[in-house]
Amino acid sequence: MFRSLDWWTILIYMALLIFGWLSVCGASYTYGDTDIFSLSTRSGMQIVWIATSVFLGMVLVLLDDRFYDMFSYIIYVAFLVLLFATIFNPHDIKGSRSWLVLGPIRLQPAEFAKFATALAVSKFMGRYGFDIHQWKDFAIAIGIVLLPMLFIIAQKETGSALVYLSFFLMFYREGMPGSVLFTGVAMVIYFVLGIKYEDTALWSLPVSAGKFMVLLLVQVFSASMVYLYCKDKRQARFILLVCLGVTALSLLFAQFVLPFDVIWVQLIVSFVLIGYLTYCWLASQMRSYLYIALFAVGSIVFFYSADYVLNNVMKPHQRVRITVLLGLEEDVAGAGYNVHQSEIAIGAGGLRGKGFLNGTQTKLKFVPEQDTDFIFCTVGEEEGFIGSAGVLVLFLALILRLIKLAERQPFAFGRIYGYCVASIFLFHVFINVGMVLGLTPVIGIPLPFFSYGGSSLWGFTLLLFIFLRIDAGRNLVHT
């Protein structure tokens, strides 16, 4: 079994642990400290978490690989119960009830629930007869993912909950229609364009540029989907020409004859389009037309509800983070302070960085959470562009290696679990580095193997080494 372990992945894991510890040292170091190995320091405690994580990895690979398959549902249910109990946790830490306090130890069940969810969804999707194209099977698989996500949201830990959206990348690999993934991307585009340009006038007309662009995109996307999924080029061309033609005529009339809000015409065109798609479905009995009509309806409903959600559902600190990210307001001293200071730290590092323990922004504690969620700014300041790029290359190598291992699994259970692990790592790295650079909203998720703390380090180790044990057992003969 040890010969079957993928030692390249383990080497990458160890390299990330080492660089992560050096980053924690740099982020938590205070001028005048003489012992970075003391357990009274963050760097000293991180050594404890690293040592226990390595020991945990050794234990995981010693277990029979069939153990993870057989007890997937039991592990999943156990963590669901723990997540539900955590909702009523009396300890409120930074506005979140996601931490369990056991004396001097604090644990975050949400970090461990990811591997339990990955095991359960892999077990369900790997069973004989599962078909992702059957709505019942697909709905149950999505339910397995969304249930812990809802419990984590109830703990007021939105960032950790959003990580579960990464499972949809695995669903896509396993045959989920690309239209589902495209719908999610389209919703993000609607939200960004609609909110960012809602109060921007189109030319000199009383027309919201944000609403105009979103409704026009709904029409263009619908016509494109008719071409792709209904294989009807003539129908797609007809829909596109009518929508663009009516829009162009309305704009010209409003610009040179009588100014009016063209959005009303856009809405009428959109609803006529929905009606026409429904007619095509009834006439041809092709469900694709129905799904495209539902896509258009859902797009419009989502867009007009996005503004309400932003202003009435989201909490003030969440709303400010989004508006700052979209450039709608400047709040360098408030919601944008973390990102602004981390950008300064990364910029100060230059090409080669200031050297280990020589960063000024991080040593003077200008960046909040600089050894947890914003630890990548320490990498940028001390190691510069070269060091930051090296860390990202290591993460890329890990994710690509996990995909390669997943593809060589002889059974669906191992392949699906491998893609779950790769998707979770990809989501964490992309969002964490993006928020440090000011490219994604600040949602407070750790950078794997770098951010300080035992819960996240153990959680990522569980994810990785369970998969390595499953992969090691692919060629073993069980008796």
Sign of the alpha-carbon torsion through 383, 384, 390, 392: positive
Residue 479 has a pLDDT of: 45
Question: Tens-digit pLDDT profile for the chain (479 aa)?
Answer: 788 899 999 999 999 999 999 999 888 877 666 677 888 888 889 999 999 999 999 999 999 989 999 999 999 999 999 999 888 876 666 666 777 776 667 788 889 999 999 999 999 999 999 999 898 999 999 999 999 999 998 888 888 899 999 999 999 999 998 888 889 889 989 988 888 888 888 888 888 899 999 999 999 999 999 999 888 899 999 999 999 999 999 999 998 888 899 999 999 999 999 999 999 999 988 889 999 999 999 999 999 898 788 877 777 777 777 777 776 666 666 667 778 888 888 988 889 888 888 887 877 777 878 888 899 999 999 999 999 999 999 999 999 999 999 999 999 999 999 999 999 999 999 999 998 888 888 888 899 999 998 889 999 999 999 999 999 988 765 54
Q: Taken in order 115, 116, 119, 121, is the CA torsion positive or negative?
A: negative
CA distance 479 to 200: 69
Position 57 scores a pLDDT of 95
Cα separation, 440 vs 442, in Å, equals 7
Cβ proximity of 394 and 412 under 8 Å: no
**CA 435, CA 464: separation in Å to the nearest integer?**
24
Q: Is the pTM value of this prediction over 0.85? A: yes
Q: What is the pLDDT of residue 367?
A: 81
pLDDT at 26: 86
CB 223 within 8 A of CB 217: no
The position carrying tokens 């390249």 is 8
Q: How many Å separate Cα 360 from the centre of its chain?
A: 31
Q: 245-253 long-range CB contacts below 8 Å, 24 or more apart?
A: 247/216, 247/219, 251/205
CA distances for 67 relative to 58, 70, 412, angstroms = 15, 5, 16
Q: Which amino acid is at 388?
A: S
Question: Tokens at residue 373, please?
Answer: 């969620």
Show the 3-state SS of the chain: CCCCCCHHHHHHHHHHHHHHHHHHHHHHCCCCCCCCCCCCCHHHHHHHHHHHHHHHHHHHHHCCHHHHHHCHHHHHHHHHHHHHHHCCCCCCECCECCCEEECCEEECHHHHHHHHHHHHHHHHHCCCCCCCCCHHHHHHHHHHHHHHHHHHHHCCCHHHHHHHHHHHHHHHHCCCCHHHHHHHHHHHHHHHHHHHCCCCECCCCCCEHHHHHHHHHHHHHHHHHHHHHCCCHHHHHHHHHHHHHHHHHHHHHHHHCCCCCCHHHHHHHHHHHHHHHHHHHHHHCCHHHHHHHHHHHHHHHHHHHHHHHHHHHCCHHHHHHHHHHCCCCCCCCCCCHHHHHHHHHHHHHCCCCCCCCCCHHHHCCCCCCCCCCCCHHHHHHHHHHHHHHHHHHHHHHHHHHHHHHHHCCCCHHHHHHHHHHHHHHHHHHHHHHHHHCCCCCCCCCCCCCCCCCHHHHHHHHHHHHHHHHHHHCCCCCCC
Predicted local confidence at residue 89, as pLDDT? 74
Question: What six digits make up the tokens of 311?
Answer: 């202003």
